[in-house]
Chain A
Amino acid sequence: MTEPLTPPKRKNPLKKTRLPLLPSGIRSRTAQMLTLVAAEGRFALPTCLDCGAVHYPPRDACPKCLSARIFAQEAPAGGRVAAETIIRTSTDPYFRERMPWRIGTVVLDAGPSIIAHLQGDVATGSRARMEWKLDKSGQAVAFALPEKETPNMADDPQLREMTLDPKFRRVLVTDARTAVGQEMVKALAAQGAAIVFAGLAEPWKPAPVRDALAAIKGVEIVPIDITDTDSVNELAGEIGAKVDILINTAEHIRPGGLMERKGVGVAREELEAGYLGLVRLAQAFGPTMRFRGADGTNSACAWVNVLSVFAQVNWPQFGAHSASQAAMLSAAQSLRAEFRAGGVRVINVFTGPLETEWYQAVPPPKVAPSQVAAATIDALKRGLEDVYVGDIAQDVRSRLAVNPKAIEREL
């Protein structure tokens, strides 16, 4: 049984903050096929398309027929733990300060044996359910979990290294005035976050939203206008060292492409609230979060961007907005690289059109704001990196993988 996590004590300001270290992130390019599936929370294994043989570790030729046509295919995630060990000595600085560390050999139902991290309730002889997780280096690792949920399972220290569980963590939702922002605040408070900082521009203005959010236990209203550099810096000065998870829910959605609009006013507003807002947040909150990547139970761990799936391929009906989202997606990739040294995960939550006023004229299926919040919580608890919320987002993702030209013509 897993010991339940205890709430972290108040930090002693005189004590040195433990610097974030990373496990080895060196992987062959071929092995990165598993990073892709880990990022989306799928379980897949290298599989030969010619003879069907499943193998592991990833290879460049099939060990049964030497074919080079090998892809990560969904595979049964079950297995049996054949052996385990508790590593007590390591040459690697990251693991040295996390000893002892349990690993095991899991004989997969799919065939191969796999060396995996073990959740505390999994032991020799027991059945396990495998997941690909991203570790602090951002690379995929095999994790053996109990077949069925066990008490406090997520509190296992090895597992919590791979996940971004909001439990006992302090979260900033940058714009709680949006429908998605409000749902996000509620969902995080329900998940046991220590504090949810709900960002509102001009919070002194009376607003029913403010009162409703302030009434939720653990929620603190904080002033932030992400189109205003001073405002962002000021809030970071106040709470920057206490933000373990940052969720950017700011949005500025307007229909239309490039030619019908007169001037660049709207486009500029989209960039101010979108791309430049992200830049302001990154400069104000990023360095401290990266520095606090190994700061105990409530270490800084995740940065979440809520993006339109049309960041990946332009939707001309919202063409200019798609372009600003694409800028944010590119910035998110930069952020991912910049955060890597701190082990802080950047999650992109891609949504289809939302059930909100700016998508009023768009026919269903649309995504309810509560769905976006639920998907974000799920991503944090499982430690995902790319999330597609709703049927449209899933559809766009699948079509892009098959033929990006086709979807470009069809949208």
Chain B
Amino acid sequence: MVAIHSAKRLGYEGVAVTAPVTVPYRRFSINSAHWWIGRALRGLVAASGLRPADIDGLSVSSFTLAPDTTIGLTQHYGLSPRWLDHIPMGGASGVMALRKAARAVQAGDCDIAACVAGDTNHVDSFRRTLSTFSRFAQDAVYPYGSGGPNANFALIMSNYLRKTGATREDTAKLAVAQRENAMRFPHALMKKPLTAEAYLEARAIADPIHLFDCVMPCAGAEAFLVLREDIARDLKLPFVRVLGSIERHNAFADDAIQERGGWERDLDELYGMAGVKRGAVDFIQTYDDYPVISMMQLEELGLCENGGIVEFVRGNTFTTDGTCPHNTSGGQLSVGQAGCAGGYLGLVEAIRQLTGQALGGQVKDARTGLVSGFGMITYDRGLASCAALLGKA
């Protein structure tokens, strides 16, 4: 048997991330995913001053693009890229697209990669997406009450609360803080403030998941550019650097029920690569398909000691001006979940925060931000976990 040692990973020197774009969300749309992704590309062109023909790399994340994949979009939009990627990975889409595009740019496989996530939401899209999401879901989840991800995460959450001693008051705290952040973010679909009482008294969806634990499915798109630092400077674009990143899938296959996502397997590498002390970040954007999953991330990504999550949530504040600024645009819980764009939301917001372009509340002196991706619950657990540390240039 040969012992395999992992090579030391290269840094992301010379790579710039810029041009945060959001195509304002809508609850329902009569347009196609192609329309939404097209709007986002146009937004990138407008934000950067580039011509469409300058885009020589394209990465797309979408669940509602069928029967197309990214390749069909090249002809659709009149692009002629030399690097192409298709990443329909839900909540992991953003960080995964970033990592791959950064390497492509660094290696010279392309100069300017447009990373776009967009999905439409027709009146019946959500039910269709749920019933055909994965083979395991078709075979072993959807026929069991067809509760969708709410039912899956209800099982995970009830176990999590029992094991950690966390209560719904704790998850309420995160949801309420996010709504407060969203009140200042112009693109949030949720416009009304949320109180802890309203969160606690909301109707049950799949116990212990209640209404305000759930995201609202909607249509929308998010995008950013990954390009060489010298090009960003020539274009006079404010940009951020990738300090470190990790990704891990199906991390703890033998856990009987999901209690951790996978980040802990590579966490030392994430912070080590970036030269950042564990948890020493100015803000964190978690993938908040449910507040309980954000709690899982805060702990596993090292924002608190192992086993200290309940104390951490109770001892901190999570608004943009809080002790632990979290999901500073309001997250999916308040902005809405536009399919795969939900996996871009935190990353696009992090680029804004670190370049001083926040559309809502600006985290003061933000220099280092952590973005986390999670998702793809094909059977009983989210399979994908990933994270990126971003730094102000």
Contacts and interface: CB of A to CB of B under 8 A. Distances in A.
Contact of B144 (A31, A89, A117): A117
Interface string A101-140: 1111101000001111100000010000000000101010
Given A56-B140, A87-B147, A91-B148, A104 B206 contact: no
A350 to B, nearest CB: 28
A85 interface: yes
B126 A91 contact: yes
A162 to B, nearest CB: 11
B135 A28 contact: yes
Contacts of B154: 85, 87
Interface in A57-87: 57-58, 63, 82-87
Interface string B348-392: 000000000000000000000000000000011000000000000
Interface in B131-177: 131-132, 135-136, 138-148, 150-151, 154-156, 158-159, 162
B204 interface: yes
A36 interface: no
A55 to B, nearest CB: 10
B145 A101 contact: yes
Contacts of B203: 88
Interface string B117-137: 000000000110011100110
Contact of B139 (A58, A86, A88, A103): A58
Nearest to B151: A87
Interface stretch (A5-13, A19-27, A172-180): A19-27
A248 B274 CA distance: 75
B198 interface: no
Contacts of A95: 145-147
B159 A90 contact: no
A139 B139 CA distance: 9
Nearest to A91: B127
A245 B145 CA distance: 26
A82 B138 contact: no
Contact of B209 (A56, A63, A85): A85
A27 B207 CA distance: 27
Given A24-B143, A57-B379, A83 B206 contact: no
B146 A91 contact: yes
B257 interface: yes
B139 A89 contact: no
Q: Which of B140, B144, B209 has the most CB of A within 10 A?
A: B144
Given A24-B138, A27-B139, A85 B207 contact: yes
A395 interface: no
Contact of B206 (A27, A63, A87, A107): A87
**In the complex, which range does the number of interface residues on chain A fall in?**
35 or more
Nearest to A106: B256
Interface in A227-249: none
Interface string B240-265: 00000000000001001100000000
B296 interface: no
Q: Which of A89, A103, A117 has the most CB of B within 10 A?
A: A89
A107 B208 CA distance: 20
A141 interface: yes
Interface in B243-302: 253, 256-257
Contact of B155 (A27, A104, A117, A141): A104
Contacts of B150: 87, 89
Contacts of B132: 26
A85 B155 contact: yes
Contacts of B256: 82, 105, 107, 113
A115 B148 CA distance: 13
B373 to A, nearest CB: 24
Interface secondary structure of B, over-half rule: mixed
Contacts of B324: none
A73 B203 CA distance: 43
Given A56-B140, A105-B380, A115-B380, A90 B158 contact: no
Contacts of A86: 204, 206-207
B155 A83 contact: yes
Contacts of A114: 140
**In the complex, which range does the number of interface residues on chain B fall in?**
35 or more
A408 interface: no
A50 interface: no
A101 B147 CA distance: 9
B145 A113 contact: no
A86 B204 CA distance: 9
A115 B258 CA distance: 13
A63 B144 contact: no
Contacts of B144: 103, 115-117, 141-142
A3 interface: no
A378 interface: no
A26 B134 CA distance: 11
A220 to B, nearest CB: 38
B151 A82 contact: no
A89 to B, nearest CB: 5
Given A31-B139, A90-B146, A107-B256, A82 B159 contact: yes
B205 interface: yes
B147 A141 contact: no
B147 to A, nearest CB: 4
A115 B155 contact: yes
A32 to B, nearest CB: 9
A88 B213 CA distance: 14
B143 A23 contact: yes
Nearest to A116: B144
Q: Which of B154, B203, B253 has the most CB of A within 10 A?
A: B154
Q: Which of B127, B142, B155, B162 has the most CB of A within 10 A?
A: B155
Given A83-B257, A113-B257, A115-B380, A105 B155 contact: yes
Interface in A1-57: 23-28, 30-31, 56-57
Given A91-B127, A113-B257, A124-B158, A85 B147 contact: yes
Nearest to B136: A57
A255 B389 CA distance: 82
A135 B209 CA distance: 26
Contacts of B131: 24, 26, 91-92
B257 A82 contact: yes
A27 B203 CA distance: 32
Nearest to A27: B139
Contacts of B147: 85, 87, 89-90, 95, 101, 103
A107 B139 contact: no
Interface string A137-157: 101011000000000000000
11 contacts: A23-B146, A24-B138, A26-B132, A57-B140, A63-B253, A82-B159, A83-B156, A87-B147, A87-B151, A88-B204, A113-B380
Given A90-B148, A113-B256, 18 more contacts: A25-B143, A27-B138, A58-B139, A84-B155, A85-B154, A85-B207, A86-B207, A87-B147, A88-B203, A91-B127, A91-B148, A92-B131, A92-B142, A95-B145, A105-B155, A105-B380, A117-B145, A124-B158
